[in-house]
Amino acid sequence: MKKRLALLLAGAMVLSAALTGCGAAKTDDTQKTDDKTAAATDTAAAGATPTLDAIKQKGEIIMLTNAQFPPFEYLGDDGTVKGVDPDLAQAVADKLGVKLKVVDMDFNGIVSALKSGKGDFAAAGMTVTEERKKEVDFTDEYVTSSQMVVVPAGSTLTAEDAALSGKNIAVQEGTTGDWYASGDTENTGSTIKDANVLRYKSGVEAGMMLAQGKADAIIIDQKPAEAIVASQNGKLTLLDKKLTDEKYAFAVQKGQDDLRDFINGVLAEYKDGKVDELITQHMGIK
Ligand code: ARG
């Protein structure tokens, strides 16, 4: 795991189904609506899959992620991105018969990169939030998680919002942990006040800063919290309290329902503990 951590740190078209009213004789509004409905029905009946067709045409599907979030994504010893999300994404690519390309970037930039078409979907242990739903569409949820608090071993700090108020809290920038530490009540229910939020490019880095005594706590998702604690050889402690209830999903560009549905079909095959098996497998880090 240490080696992996070092690596982790080192690495740091819309074909909208133009369902516009295309009937020739539009005499009134009612007629227009009928035409639209008819066109939509025709297209659906023909099984139109514009996004999937374009991906097959390219022969490649691009996943956007931030590989600093074990066990969901991390850099393997060979420098490639490994984890639960790449495994699921590979299953999507295999089923489509195309190659998977993984693009590793700052977590904070993933939503806008997806919106501007730099990738076909995001798979990044990303929590479904109302805020993000304004920007992208989410697939079905495949993981349940919570924000948790990690403190230096021996610290008397508790995971109560009142106790965390005014403290130095390390987070990964742009994550729900960042929002929580920042006291974003609307999106996270947090009532933390005036914390000094130290924003890092990765949760792993935040964990190292904590181990070095540069912060009082980190707020981060449960499994990454466990992985970070395990990697710091007894220097850190994970507190029990769950600050939030969150669900992860893949994200696609708005309106790309064919791609979203296709991914949902693959995720459905991973129900009944199969995702948990992947999590266990990728937590078994050296
Ligand atoms: N679940 C949190 C969120 O959606 C953190 C995700 C961080 N993911 C990553 N690959 N770094 O904000």
Q: How does pLDDT run across 107-143, given as a tens digit for each residue?
A: 999 999 999 999 999 999 999 999 999 999 999 999 9
Report whether residue 69 contacts ligand 1, using a CB cutoff of 6 Å.
Answer: yes
Report whether residue 126 contacts ligand 1, using a CB cutoff of 6 Å.
Answer: yes
pLDDT higher for 278 or 44? 278
pLDDT value, residue 47: 74
pLDDT higher for 37 or 224? 224
Percentage of the chain exceeding pLDDT 70 = 83
Mean pLDDT of the chain: 88
As a 3-state breakdown, the chain gives helix, strand, coil percent values, each rounded to 5, of: 40, 20, 35
Nearest Cα to 12, choosing from 63, 68, 70, 64? 68
Whether pLDDT at 6 is above 60? no
Percentage of the chain exceeding pLDDT 90 = 80
pLDDT-based confidence at residue 2 (cuts at 50, 70, 90): very low
pLDDT value, residue 105: 97
pLDDT value, residue 272: 83
Cβ-contact 207, 236 below 8 angstroms: yes
Cβ-contact 55, 259 below 8 angstroms: yes
pLDDT value, residue 44: 52
Whether pLDDT at 149 is above 70? yes
Question: What does the block give as tokens for 143?
Answer: 């993981």
Cβ-contact 99, 61 below 8 angstroms: yes
pLDDT-based confidence at residue 284 (cuts at 50, 70, 90): confident
d(CA 97, CA 261): 16
Task: Provide mean pLDDT across the span 32-46.
Answer: 49
Task: Provide mean pLDDT across the span 225-247.
Answer: 95
The half-sphere exposure of 211 on its side-chain side, counting CA atoms within 13 A, is: 16
pLDDT value, residue 13: 37
Report whether residue 119 contacts ligand 1, using a CB cutoff of 6 Å.
Answer: no
The half-sphere exposure of 280 on its side-chain side, counting CA atoms within 13 A, is: 5
pLDDT-based confidence at residue 21 (cuts at 50, 70, 90): very low
DSSP state, 242?
Answer: -
CA 69 – ligand 1 centroid, Å: 7
Task: Provide mean pLDDT across the span 204-224.
Answer: 95
Burial state string for 62-78 with b = 16 or more CB within 10 A and e = fewer than 16: bbbbbbbbbbbbbbbee
Task: Provide mean pLDDT across the span 150-160.
Answer: 97
Nearest Cα to 247, choosing from 219, 274, 275? 275
φ/ψ of 107, rounded to 5, equals: -55, -40
Residue with tokens 């977590």: 107
Report whether residue 142 contacts ligand 1, using a CB cutoff of 6 Å.
Answer: no
Task: Provide mean pLDDT across the span 204-222.
Answer: 95
Whether pLDDT at 254 is above 50? yes
Residue with tokens 């995971």: 159
CA 65 – ligand 1 centroid, Å: 9
Ramachandran category for residue 17: left, alpha or beta (phi over 0 → left; psi -120 to 50 → alpha): beta
pLDDT value, residue 271: 85
Q: If you count DSSP H runs as helices and E runs as strands, how many of each does the chain have, helices first?
A: 13, 13
Which of 8, 63, 69, 184 for mutating ligand 1's site (highest number of atoms within 8 Å of CB)? 69
Whether pLDDT at 37 is above 90? no
Burial degree of 172 (CB within 10 A; 0-12, 13-18, 19+): buried
Q: Whose CA is nearest to atom 12 of ligand 1?
A: 175
